[in-house]
Structure 1
Amino acid sequence: MAPMTTPGSLSALESRLRRLEYYITGQTSQSPTAEAASSKEKPLNVRARLSDLEQSLNDLISRSQTARELLTTYHKHPSLFLPSPATPPTSSDPSLTNRERISTILALAPSYQETASRLTTLKDLPIPPTSASRTLISLQPRLEQVEAVQREQAKEIEGLRARSAHVLQRWYEVSVIGGNECWAEWERRVEMVERGVRQRERARKEEEVQGEKYGG
């Protein structure tokens, strides 16, 4: 029975780990396996190489916050790291003849060449420095603090708006409506006083007229 872990698979795992380390930190560290190979010493056995890979991965996780966040994201959402299923190519329209298909291909041939040229150009672009990514990741806690402060300020502003609306409503009820009711009450009292005064004046005039009539 063939062993489950072969030297080829170990080399592939080590190569992937070194690429991952380079993508995250921008540099790679030499493993004891590579040191033994470069110094022409006796190569490590499978168990030692697995231990070496595990130690290298733990070292990368301990000194890289990006690696820890990637590992946390993998544990929470492992489906994000699965390769997307390949979609089978759709069959061409059976109603088209070979001449029509060839005409379509020739008409789109320049766009194929342009796309291939752009893809080739992308290969020559340098990888952005990891310092920029580390800086953005290090700013994440500060951004979260700023968002928390903004939420607190928004809650405080909402409370101030509610209090202002309550004060305005109270002022309207007491000053405006209450003042109008007070003026209406005063007007009613003044009108009653004026009515009493007029009645007394009318009665006094009637008495004077009666006096002059009987006195004359």
Structure 2
Amino acid sequence: MDNTFDITALETIDLLETRLKRIEYAVCGHVDKATIHNNENATKKLAELEHSLHQLASKSRVIQDLLRLHSRHPGLFQSTKDSEIPTSLLPTDLLHIVLASASSYPSTASRLTSIMDAPVPTANLSASLIDLQPRLAKVESLQAAQNADLSLLRERTAAIIQRWYTVDVLRAGDSWAELESRVEDVERGVRRAEKLRREDEESL
């Protein structure tokens, strides 16, 4: 193309396409064979590149989470200069925060070093992990169904315990109270009859 702006736009889109392919390889373990032709105009290439991004996002939950995180907190994806302090706190407050967390710095550095030394998994291993996603989804749905069954069993158990307490315990207590009341009435009647008998004997 003779237009310098169009050439710059196409080169920029080519760089974006390269970055998209790297992301696709890092997430999926492979790269789609289809590429955007260089003889197309910038508008069409950009539209096809955006379509490829949407397809990749629809296939990967990781990219969906990243896009959702970027839409909610875009500041996390913006780099700041080392000389700039990304906070409104005073230097004394920052010093207290740093000193309070100083003991965790060596362990954090050791963990980061171990992460750097860890080997990068192969593409086949990443692809096998991606293939496990449907099985993991089935296990997750099964676990959700089991949790629902357990919740139902807990509710039924609570209802049975409440019925047992209401029917057996409370009613048994009422029966014993009624029986005790009847026994007391009988005792009072017996004492009254004995008193009358003694009065009759004394009157004779």
Q: TM-score category by the smaller chain?
A: 0.5 to 0.7
Alignment of 1:74-93 (within 5 A): 74=67, 78-80=71-73, 82-86=76-80, 88-89=82-83
Is residue 188 of structure 1 aligned with residue 185 of structure 2?
yes
Q: Which has the higher contact order (CA 8 A, sep 6+)?
A: 2
The answer to whether residue 115 in structure 2 is matched with residue 125 in structure 1 is no
Amino acid at match of 1:190: E
Percent identity between the two aligned chains: 17
Alpha carbons of 1:90 and 1:51: their partners in 2 closer, same or farther (altered >3 Å)?
closer
TM-superposition CA deviations, 1:152-195 (whole Å, max 9, x none) = 53254135314413431443332124313322322322331343
The CA deviation string for residues 14-47 of structure 1, in whole angstroms up to 9 with x for no partner, is 11221122122211122344xx6xxxxxx42224
Give the letter for the 1:50 counterpart: L
Residue 12 of structure 1: how far off its partner (Å)? 0.9
Alignment of 1:66-215 (within 5 A): 66=60, 70-71=63-64, 74=67, 78-80=71-73, 82-86=76-80, 88-89=82-83, 121-122=117-118, 124-127=119-122, 129-136=126-133, 139-140=136-137, 142-151=139-148, 153-204=150-201, 206-207=203-204
Using the size of structure 2 for normalisation, the TM-score is 0.60
Residues 45-60 of structure 1: matches in 2 within 5 Å? 45-47=40-42, 48-57=44-53, 59-60=55-56
TM-score (norm 1): 0.58
Please, which of 7, 29, 53 is the counterpart of residue 10 of structure 2? 7
Cross-structure match for 1:213: none
Amino acid at match of 2:11: G
- Pairs aligned (count): 174
Q: CA deviation at 1:85?
A: 4.4
1:26 aligns with 2:25: no
Unpaired stretches in structure 2, ≥5 consecutive residues: 86-90, 92-109
8 Å Cα contact 2:70-2:77 kept in structure 1? no
What is the CA distance between 1:196 and its match in structure 2?
0.8
Q: CA RMSD in A?
A: 4.0
**In structure 2, do the counterparts of structure 1 residues 55 and 175 end up closer, same or farther at CA, with 3 Å as the change threshold?**
closer
Larger Rg: 1
Q: Specify the code of the residue in structure 1 equivalent to 2:25.
A: Y
Once residues 199 and 112 of structure 2 are traced to their aligned partners in structure 1, the CA distance between those partners, rounded to angstroms, is 113
Specify which of 39, 47, 59 is matched with residue 44 of structure 1. 39
